[in-house]
Amino acid sequence: MTGWEMVAVAAAGLAAGGINAVVGSGTLVSFPVLLAVGIPPVPATISNSLGLVPGNASGSFGYRRELRGQKRLLLSLIPASVLGGLTGAFLLLHLPASTFEAVVPVLIGLAVVLVAVQPLVQRSLARRRSGDEPPPRVGRGRLAALFGGAYVTGTYGGYFAASQGVLQIGIFGLLLREPLQRLNALKNVLTLTVNTVAAGAYVVVATDRVDWTAAGLLAAGSLVGGYVSSRYGRRLPEPVLRTAIVALGLVAIGVLLNR
C-alpha cells in the first residue's frame, strides 16, 4: 500500500469503529476501502474482522452504563454468539472464494436496505414501549428465541459483518422491552463476541490470508473511533451517517460487480 492508501485505511477504521458503536454497519465503510486499495474480497473480510475488534471493545466499554442489569441475559446469549461466529468463520473459510464473491454483493445490498429502514424499525419499537412500563420477565420461550436470533446474526457476522448490529437490534427489539440505548449496548457486546471469535479462528487457520498491515491500521483507527463515538457519537445526526453508509455500500457493490 502507498502512504495515502494507508491513511485511507486508518481513516476508514476510525469511521467504522465510531459508526459501529452508535449505529452499526461500520463494515460498509471499511470494506469498500479495503477493496479499493486492492485487497481481494475474502482477505479483505478477514482483515476487516480482525481490525474492527478493538473498536468493538472500546465501543462496548463506552456503553458500560447501559449494560447494568443485563448480565444474566448476556451470559445466556454469549454462547450463541460464540457458536454463530465459529459457524460463519467456517463458512467463509471453506466455501469457494467464487461463492463469497457472488454472495457478498447480495449481503451488502441487504445490509444497505437494513441501514436505510432502521429508523422505521426504531420508531416502531419506540411505539411499542411505554416509559413507565417495567421490562417483562424473559421467559424460556422468549429466551430461546433470543438465543436463536443471536446464533443466526452471529453466523451472518462471522461470514460477513456488515449490518450484523442492525439485525441484532431489530430482532432483540421485537423480543425485549428495553430502551434503544440498552439494546445498543447489548448489541455491542455480542458483536464484539462474534468478531473476536471469528478473528481468532482466522488467525489460527488462515494466517496467510490476513493482510496484517491493513488489519493493524484498521485496529488503530477503530479503537479510537469506538471509544470517542461511544462517548460523543449520540450527538451526531444519524441521517448524515446513514446516508454515508448507504452511499459507501452502493460503491462496494459497484466495485465487486466490476472486478
Say what the pLDDT of residue 47 is. Answer: 92
Q: Which of 134, 140, 136 is nearest to 76 (CA)?
A: 140
Distances in Å between the Cα of 238 and the Cα atoms of 152, 182, 194, 233 are 26, 17, 25, 9
Say what the pLDDT of residue 249 is. Answer: 67
Residue numbers in the chain where pLDDT is lower than 50? none
Residue numbers of the domain that contains 28: 3-257
Say what the pLDDT of residue 51 is. Answer: 93
Cell of 167: 439485525
The Cβ of residue 74 has, within 10 Å, a number of other Cβ atoms equal to: 15
Distances in Å between the Cα of 3 and the Cα atoms of 8, 9, 77, 213 are 9, 10, 42, 12
Say what the pLDDT of residue 71 is. Answer: 83
**Distance of alpha carbon 122 from the chain centroid:** 17
Say what the pLDDT of residue 217 is. Answer: 95
Say what the pLDDT of residue 103 is. Answer: 80
Kindly report, residue by residue over 118-175, the tens digit of the pLDDT. Answer: 677 667 766 665 555 555 566 677 889 899 989 988 998 888 877 777 778 777 877 7
Say what the pLDDT of residue 118 is. Answer: 67
Task: Give the number of domains in the chain.
Answer: 1
Non-local (6+) Cβ contacts of 195 within 8 A are 49, 52, 53, 56, 85, 157, 161
